[in-house]
Amino acid sequence: MEHQKMLAKFKELYGADGDIRMYFAPGRVNLIGEHTDYNGGHVFPCALTIGTYAVARKRDDEKLRFYSMNFEKNGVVETSLSDFHPKEDKNWTAYPKGVMWAFTERGMKVEKGLDLLIRGNIPAGSGLSSSASLEVLTGFLLKDLFGFSVTNEDLAKIGQFSENQYNGMNCGIMDQFASAMGKKDHAIFLDTATLEFTYAPVALKDASVVVTNSNVKHSLVASAYNERRTECETALAELQSVTDIKTLGDLTEEAFEKSKDAIKDPVRQKRAKHAVYENQRTVRAVEALKNNDIKLFGELMNQSHVSLRDDYEVSCPEIDVLVEEAWKVPGVIGSRITGGGFGGCTVSIVENGAIDAFQKAVGEAYEKRTGKQADFYVVEIGDGPHRIPV
């Protein structure tokens, strides 16, 4: 039904002739391994069945026309292939434009313009990677429409490059990789230092992944995200004066404790501690999942939240309330903040028989303690980007 609405709107705006195609790329949730992806550590995200859709058609000139069903009041935004302004473009079109620019930077010139209609069903600012989803979607449709020779892994790298260089957001590779490389019912155990990865089946027996949206929007570019990255880079440089490491992900907990005094600032020491310990937690969590030890997986998720709250300081009061209330509910195996932080969502693993009670208890306590409403999504793990027959 939604697909039909999108097609109808596209034809109403741009006309019904020509080769009109439809595409999808997923959002992601990270089960564990947060703020490790730019510190050379491991992450464990999965693609979701919610994400971003596009209807697209090539033009004969250099004009670019964008329309978002999520921002209908903006109308059709017109620009052209000669109108790229890295780090200056500010509205939502800066994400698809950044990817087109990144393709050109890599020697794959987009020669013809496009008519594009976009619709996303990821809540904006929720920390479920609506921006990475839009980047991967754009890359995938450019590949399909123009015949560029790129793999899905290349699309992840191009998406990260465009977000770093065009949008000024110094993100790691995880979000784009999870969207581009998603596989139904599997999470991706990714070593961000080498991009080596394996798919791990997420077999939760009688439990499900539940995402809870705090409805506190995060704005990462303007937030402390880039600052955290700088703190970690400085801490790494200090550690490199006494240890032979390339990234914080190279350290075990013991090795970190032995050499941590090389980090001169106590705040930087806490940041580096999180990166090291979170990486080791992620490795252990994936092992636990392989051994069907869901209980241990949940405990490691809980420890991850405490570290993100206390050592990395990227949580916020509302998110802490959601997690604290989740921990009280019988049948909750684990719960933590997910995504960049400063708002957004939590991810919980909840026994299927407890999901209704979980939503009721956490929802009521959250409203009572913060005055805000939370939204709950029992999510399914889906595939990466694909073309949808029209």
Which residues are known to be catalytic? Answer: 175
Structure tokens that stand for 119 in this block = 């619709």
**Strands 345-351 and 332-338, sheet pairing:** antiparallel
Query: Which one-letter amino acid corresponds to residue 376?
Result: F
Query: Which one-letter amino acid corresponds to residue 372?
Result: K
Structure tokens that stand for 16 in this block = 């019904």
Structure tokens that stand for 7 in this block = 């097609």
C-alpha distances in Å from residue 314, one per residue of 13, 27, 38, 224: 42, 21, 15, 8
Q: If we measure between CA atoms, which residue out of 122, 2, 118 comes closest to residue 50?
A: 122
Which residues lie across from 68 on neighbouring strands?
118
Say which residue the tokens 């959601």 belong to: 322
Cβ partners under 8 Å of residue 382, min gap 6: 26, 47, 48, 49, 51, 182, 184
